[in-house]
Amino acid sequence: MKNEQLLLIMAERILGEKAANIVTLLLENDELTDEAISRAIKLDINETRRLLHRLFDLNIVKYRRIRDEKIGWYTYLWRITDSSPEAIIALRKKRVLEKLKRRLEYELDGPYYYCGKCNTRYTFGEASSYMFMCPKCDEVLSPYDNSKLVEKLEKIIRQLEETPP
C-alpha cells in the first residue's frame, strides 16, 4: 500500500470522511489555501480550518505561511506532510502513551471520593474541603475504588510499550 493511501486511511479513521476529503484534495494538488479547500469540498471555512489544524496536529498535513505585503495578512498554503505513515503512527503512539501515563499517575495519586447521586468523583482535597458532602446535592461522599481502572490503564500501557512502533 502506498504512503498516500495510508495517510488517507489514517485521516478517515481518526477524523472522518470530511478530513479524508481534504487529504484527497491535497494529494491531487501541490498546495492549496484553506479557502480553496473549503470551496472545492463544499465545506464551511471554519470547519475546514478546524479539520486542517487537527490534520496538522496528527502530522498528516503541513503548511507554509506567506505575508501579503500590501495588507499585512498571512495566507496559509496547505500540503501533505513529508513524514512517513510509520513516523506519524510512532508519534501518535508516543502521545497516547504519555497521556495514559499521566492519567495513571493521577489515578495513583488518590484516594478519591464519589457521589452516587450526582455521579461525580472528587479528589481527597476536594472532598475534605466539602466536609465529605457533595456540593451539588448534599449527599455523603463515599470512598471510590479505582483499582480496576488502574489495572486497565497499566495493561494498556504495557501492551503499547511491548508493540513495535
Instruction: State the chain's mean pLDDT as an integer.
Output: 93
Number of structural domains, the chain?
Answer: 2
Using one digit for the tens of pLDDT, what is the confidence trace for 26-79? 999 989 999 999 999 999 999 999 999 999 999 999 999 999 888 889 999 999
Q: Are residues 36 and 102 in the same domain?
A: no
| DSSP-assigned beta bridge partners for residue 76 | 65
| Claim: this prediction has a pTM higher than 0.85 | no
CA dist., res. 33 & res. 73, Å (int): 13
- Read off the CATH number of the domain in which 22 is found: 1.10.10.10
Q: What is the pLDDT of residues 69-79, one digit of tens each?
A: 888 899 999 99
| Residues 77 and 95: beta-carbon distance below 8 Å | no
SS3 content of the chain, % helix, strand, coil (to 5): 55, 20, 25
**Residue 75 domain boundaries:** 3-83
Q: What is the pLDDT of residues 115-150, one digit of tens each?
A: 999 999 999 999 999 999 999 999 999 999 999 999
- Single out the residue in 83, 104, 122 at which a domain terminates: 83
Rounded Cα gap, residues 92 and 97, in angstroms: 9
**Could you tell me whether strands 112-115 and 120-123 are parallel, antiparallel, or unpaired per DSSP bridges?**
antiparallel
Separation between Cα atoms, residue 110 and residue 24, nearest integer Å? 47
Domain match, 79 and 97 both: no
